[in-house]
Structures are given as structure tokens and as C-alpha cells.
């Protein structure tokens, strides 16, 4: 074995002394729970050695080991936390695998990576289906599978700790130190997660939480009553009866219980938790113990909710942008002399709009620099002559609405100038200057467009869409006033608008 990760894996596997051991109920139960949560016919705990993968526990799969060439899990080790392949026939890593191309024709694979305390990946807890699953796992199934994978590691750590303890008890003081180290290792490995392990001795109603309860939820040991009643009181009132019913239902029959509910933190707020447990029965079949793990799913739930909101916001903005483009197209057609004119004018307007969008998207703050927006809108009209555009003003970040409207306004001014004004000659130029002024109540922005060096201009006989965009596009959006004057020396356009209007942000997720 030449690769370092392979060597580290071999060392880790040797330290757990797990390969070729016989089946144990603890591991079988975890696999059963994984197939139940993920609703699959097949579940495996697989350890990947140098040339084979070996299964500590398996459901729905006959061989106890396979060559590495048939291992999907080996790919999961490279993946980090979890590998989900919705359709194994479509993935280049697995489509030629003989378990895919032949019996048992496996199609869907999800494997949570088993990591030793030192971070080395040694295998997976995986579930497999014989039909593809385009949607993979739900967020709950995914986090459930990962929680169970951590439980597999806890079992391995515990197994190693017990082995070391047994040896230590029969050996010297030196070995006793090793016991301390191994117990410390177990304590540290369970501290590294946000999972809280608990154990309920039902006979004596003794309920024990591990230290993570304090770390994750803030409940200090001194105020935690060691009873099931204390646990139930921390469950959100709306969830409590349902949880109680399901726990009692699991006591009637079955060996496992799992539920998701809201659990109160010490500060009174609630965490979304996923709680799973094994039920241990006496010979008469009565439940004497429940032992489980409660994991904090809040971050996942909050991320899902945020994602939903963002998708919704995106959809809303897309519809609004489409409505705006629709209006621009309709207005362009309404005012056009010919279809060719309309096509050209529409394309140029959409390009100007698109450039402003680019500038807005380039910053993550949904703001755009005034100068960048103006230069973007003028790009179509630049003949590369020095001094064509004389742009001058203080740095000013403006909001998305103002940026789009400003881009369209500048584009229309430049379009007119190119047809009739100073940009229709090689030497004509335009000054675009702005400054911030203190007005009576609030600061305002004064923006001037001044054409020079072109032919004499006269006012157009009718105001088309372009003129409306100049006079009302930006001013109507941010509450300003526009004066458009056709001086014989060239067009002059002055806009005065409140700075607050220029900088207004779109409320997100309201």
C-alpha cells in the first residue's frame, strides 16, 4: 500500500480490531435503523481495507465482503462526509461496477463516512436501493444517516475502550494509565459532536444525560432532574403529547423509537432536534431501558427555511424583471416607426439593462457604483476617442432600482445624442457630472448631462418612449425632478433627486 491515506486507514482499522469479527447486535441495530430511516432494502456497515471491503453488519445483502473493484464505499471515503449517488448507472465511478451491471443490480447509494477520532476515514454506514432515487435523501434522512454513522464510531470507540480496559485490569499500573487514556479518548470523541447521548432506566425512572446537554443546550447538571418528566417538560407544548404517544407506542412493540420535535434550551428558546433510541426489554418483553441520542437539527432546519425564502425571493424578482422587460418591449413596439427600428432599439435597451444587472450582481451587497453604471450604459456608444465622455463625480454607491433606471436613462440620452446630438459627430462629446448637495432637509444628488460639439439641436416634435425614460424613468423611480433642455449648442439634461432615493435598497425576504 503506497498511498498515505491507505496506510493511515490500515493503522486505524487495526487499532479498532474490528475486521473479521462476528456480528454484534449493536451494529445490526444501527444498520436496521438506517434502512428504516432511509426506507431502503439494503444497509451495510462497511470497512475498506487495502484490497477488500468487509461488512460488520448487513441487511439485504448476502456476501460478507467484496473485492475493492465492487466497492462504492471506497469512493465515499474520498468524498469527506457523505456520498449520495441517485443513479449508479449514470455515475462514471460506478456505472461499470459489476454489482450495478449484474446481480443484484444496485441503483441508489448513500453512504455516511465513518471517521476515526483522528479524522481518518475507515468505512461507511451506507444504504442501497435497487431503484434509482433522483431526489437522493431528504435533509432529515441525510442528517439521520450521519448521526447513525457517528453512533457506529461511538460503538467502535466504546469497544476499543472496553478492550483496553479489560487488558488494563489484568495488567500492570502502566496499562492502567492506558485505560485512563482510552477513557479520555472516548470522552473527547463524544464531546466533539453536538449529539447528546442519554439513557433512561425505566424501572427506577433514572434518566441520565451526558455532558453535551450542558454544552449544546445550556442546561447545567445541577438543575436537571434525573427523570423522564424533566425531559418531557422541555419538549415544546405543541409537540409534547405527540412525542409521549409515540414513545408509549414504541413501548408496546418494537426495538426502536425516533422522533423530531422542538426541545427547549436553558435560555427558553427551542432547538429542532432529532431523537432516536433503542428500547431494551426484559424477558417478559417489558421495556426496562431506553438509550438514545438526541441531535441538534436546528442549523439544518434554519438553512432549509432560508433556502426556501431565497428561492421564493429569486422567483419573485425574476417575475418582476420579466414584467419590466415586457413593459420595455411593449413600449418600444408601441412607439416604433418600423419593426426593424423596434428590434434594434429593444435589443440595445435590453443590453443596457443587462449591463446594469451585471454590475449589481458583481457586488454581493446589491449596490453599484454610480460611475460603473454610467460607463456600462455608455459602452454601446463609445467610439474609443479620448474625451468622448467626460465623467466626473464623487464615489457613490447606489441601490438596485436607481441603478437600473439610471442605466436606461443614460442609454436613451446617448442613443439620442448618437442620432441627433453631439455623439453624431466624430469630435462631439458629453460631460456627465454629479455632486452631492446639502438641501434644506436631506442631501440630494445633482446629475448633469451636457452635450457639446455637435450640430445644432431642436426639440423633437413628439415625445417617444426614449424621452419618457429620460424624463420619468429615474426621476419617477426615486422621486426626483428632470429638466431636459434642447439648447442650440447641445442637449442639457439635469436631474435632482434625494440621495436617499438613489441609495434605497430593495427589502429582501420581507
315 sits near other proteins (criterion: CB under 8 A)? yes
Q: Are strands 121-129 and 42-48 parallel, antiparallel or unpaired?
A: antiparallel
CB-nearer residue toward other proteins: 111 or 480: 480
Among 326, 385, 425, 427, binds other proteins (CB under 8 A): 326
Distance CA 360, CA 281 (A): 63
Burial of 277 (0-12, 13-18, 19+ CB in 10 A): buried
Distance CA 252, CA 237 (A): 24
* CA nearest neighbour of 247 among 299, 207, 192, 191: 207
CA atoms within 13 A on the CB side of 186: 21
How many C-beta neighbours within 10 Å does residue 200 have? 25
Distance CA 468, CA 120 (A): 66
340 sits near other proteins (criterion: CB under 8 A)? no
CB-nearer residue toward other proteins: 223 or 337: 337
187 sits near other proteins (criterion: CB under 8 A)? no
| Beta carbon of residue 438, minimum distance to other proteins (angstroms, whole number) | 25
Query: H helices within 221-265, ranges in order?
Result: 228-234, 237-252
Among 242, 286, 312, 433, binds other proteins (CB under 8 A): 312
Cell of 324: 419590466
Distance CA 298, CA 277 (A): 19
Distance CA 77, CA 82 (A): 8
Span interacting with other proteins, options 12-20, 216-224, 284-292, 472-480, rule CB under 8 A: 472-480
468 sits near other proteins (criterion: CB under 8 A)? yes
Site string for other proteins, 226-265 (x = CB under 8 A): ----------------------------------------
Cα-based distances in Å from 58 to 55, 63, 137, 147: 6, 9, 20, 18
| Beta carbon of residue 282, minimum distance to other proteins (angstroms, whole number) | 52
| Beta carbon of residue 451, minimum distance to other proteins (angstroms, whole number) | 24
Grouping H, G, I as helix, E, B as strand and the rest as coil, residue 486 is strand
Among 45, 400, 477, 482, binds other proteins (CB under 8 A): 477
442 sits near other proteins (criterion: CB under 8 A)? no
Size of site (CB under 8 A) for other proteins = 29
| Beta carbon of residue 336, minimum distance to other proteins (angstroms, whole number) | 14
Span interacting with other proteins, options 15-23, 163-171, 299-307, 319-327, rule CB under 8 A: 319-327
| Beta carbon of residue 376, minimum distance to other proteins (angstroms, whole number) | 18
308 sits near other proteins (criterion: CB under 8 A)? no
328 sits near other proteins (criterion: CB under 8 A)? yes
225 sits near other proteins (criterion: CB under 8 A)? no
Cell of 45: 456497515
End-to-end Cα, the chain, rounded Å: 57
Span interacting with other proteins, options 104-112, 256-264, 315-323, 412-420, rule CB under 8 A: 315-323
> What residues pair up with 392 in beta bridges, in sequence order?
433
330 sits near other proteins (criterion: CB under 8 A)? yes
| Beta carbon of residue 320, minimum distance to other proteins (angstroms, whole number) | 6
316 sits near other proteins (criterion: CB under 8 A)? yes
CB-nearer residue toward other proteins: 203 or 305: 305
Distance CA 14, CA 154 (A): 16
473 sits near other proteins (criterion: CB under 8 A)? yes
Site for other proteins in 267-296 (CB under 8 A): none
Among 68, 303, 324, 463, binds other proteins (CB under 8 A): 324
334 sits near other proteins (criterion: CB under 8 A)? yes
CB-nearer residue toward other proteins: 316 or 487: 316
507 sits near other proteins (criterion: CB under 8 A)? yes
408 sits near other proteins (criterion: CB under 8 A)? yes
Length of the chain counted residue by residue: 510
Distance CA 6, CA 172 (A): 34
How many C-beta neighbours within 10 Å does residue 125 have? 32
| Beta carbon of residue 274, minimum distance to other proteins (angstroms, whole number) | 30
Distance CA 374, CA 36 (A): 60
Among 320, 363, 385, 425, binds other proteins (CB under 8 A): 320
**Cα Rg of the chain (Å, integer):** 35
Amino acid at each position: 500500500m503506497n498511498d498515505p491515506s491507505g496506510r493511515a486507514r490500515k493503522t486505524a482499522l487495526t487499532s479498532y480490531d474490528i475486521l473479521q469479527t462476528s456480528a454484534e447486535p449493536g451494529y445490526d441495530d444501527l444498520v436496521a435503523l438506517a434502512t428504516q430511516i432511509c426506507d431502503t432494502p439494503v444497509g451495510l456497515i462497511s470497512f475498506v481495507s487495502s484490497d477488500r471491503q468487509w461488512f460488520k453488519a448487513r441487511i439485504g445483502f448476502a456476501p460478507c465482503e467484496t473485492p475493492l473493484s465492487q466497492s462504492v464505499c471506497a469512493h465515499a471515503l474520498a468524498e469527506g462526509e457523505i456520498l449520495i449517488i441517485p443513479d449508479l448507472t449514470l455515475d462514471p465511478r460506478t456505472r461499470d461496477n459489476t454489482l450495478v451491471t449484474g446481480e443484484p443490480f444496485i441503483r441508489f447509494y448513500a453512504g455516511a463516512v465513518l471517521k476515526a477520532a483522528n479524522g481518518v476515514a475507515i468505512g461507511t454506514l451506507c444504504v442501497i436501493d435497487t431503484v434509482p432515487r433522483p431526489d437522493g435523501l431528504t435533509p432529515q434522512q441525510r442528517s439521520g444517516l450521519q448521526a447513525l454513522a457517528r453512533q457506529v464510531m461511538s460503538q467502535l470507540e466504546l469497544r476499543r475502550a472496553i478492550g483496553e480496559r479489560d487488558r488494563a485490569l489484568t495488567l500492570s499500573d502502566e496499562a492502567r494509565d492506558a485505560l485512563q487514556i482510552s477513557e479520555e479518548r472516548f470522552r473527547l470523541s463524544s464531546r466533539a459532536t453536538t449529539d447528546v447521548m442519554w439513557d433512561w432506566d425505566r424501572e427506577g425512572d433514572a434518566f441520565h444525560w451526558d455532558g453535551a446537554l450542558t454544552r449544546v443546550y445550556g442546561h447545567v447538571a445541577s438543575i436537571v432532574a434525573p427523570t423522564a418528566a424533566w425531559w418531557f417538560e422541555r419538549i415544546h407544548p405543541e409537540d409534547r403529547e405527540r412525542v409521549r404517544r409515540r414513545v408509549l407506542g414504541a413501548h408496546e412493540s418494537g426495538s426502536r423509537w425516533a422522533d423530531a420535535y422542538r426541545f427547549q434550551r436553558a435560555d427558553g428558546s427551542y432547538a429542532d432536534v432529532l431523537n432516536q433510541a433503542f428500547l431494551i426489554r426484559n424477558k417478559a418483553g417489558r421495556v426496562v431501558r431506553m438509550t438514545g441520542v438526541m441531535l441538534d437539527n436546528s442549523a439544518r432546519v434554519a438553512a432549509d427555511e432560508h433556502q426556501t425564502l431565497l428561492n421564493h425571493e429569486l422567483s419573485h424578482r425574476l417575475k418582476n424583471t420579466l414584467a419590466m422587460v415586457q413593459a420595455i418591449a411593449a413600449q418600444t413596439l408601441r412607439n416604433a416607426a418600423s419593426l426593424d427600428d423596434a428590434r434594434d432599439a429593444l435589443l440595445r435597451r435590453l443590453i443596457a439593462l443587462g449591463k446594469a444587472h451585471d454590475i449589481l450582481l458583481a457586488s454581493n451587497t446589491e449596490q453599484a457604483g454610480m460611475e460603473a453604471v454610467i460607463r456600462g450604459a455608455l459602452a454601446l456608444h463609445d467610439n474609443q476617442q479620448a474625451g468622448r465622455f467626460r465623467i466626473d463625480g464623487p464615489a457613490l454607491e447606489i441601490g438596485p432600482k436607481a441603478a437600473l433606471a439610471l442605466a436606461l436613462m443614460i442609454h436613451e440620452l446617448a442613443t439620442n445624442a448618437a442620432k441627433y446630438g453631439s455623439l453624431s459627430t466624430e469630435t462631439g462629446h458629453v460631460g456627465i457630472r454629479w455632486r452631492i448637495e446639502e438641501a434644506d432637509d436631506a442631501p440630494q444628488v445633482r446629475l448633469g448631462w451636457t452635450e457639446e460639439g455637435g450640430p445644432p439641436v431642436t426639440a423633437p416634435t413628439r415625445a417617444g418612449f426614449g424621452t419618457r425614460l429620460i424624463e420619468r424613468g429615474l426621476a419617477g423611480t426615486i422621486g426626483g425632478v428632470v429638466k431636459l433642455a434642447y439648447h442650440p449648442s447641445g442637449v442639457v439634461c439635469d436631474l435632482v433627486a434625494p440621495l436617499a432615493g438613489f441609495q434605497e435598497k430593495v427589502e429582501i425576504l420581507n
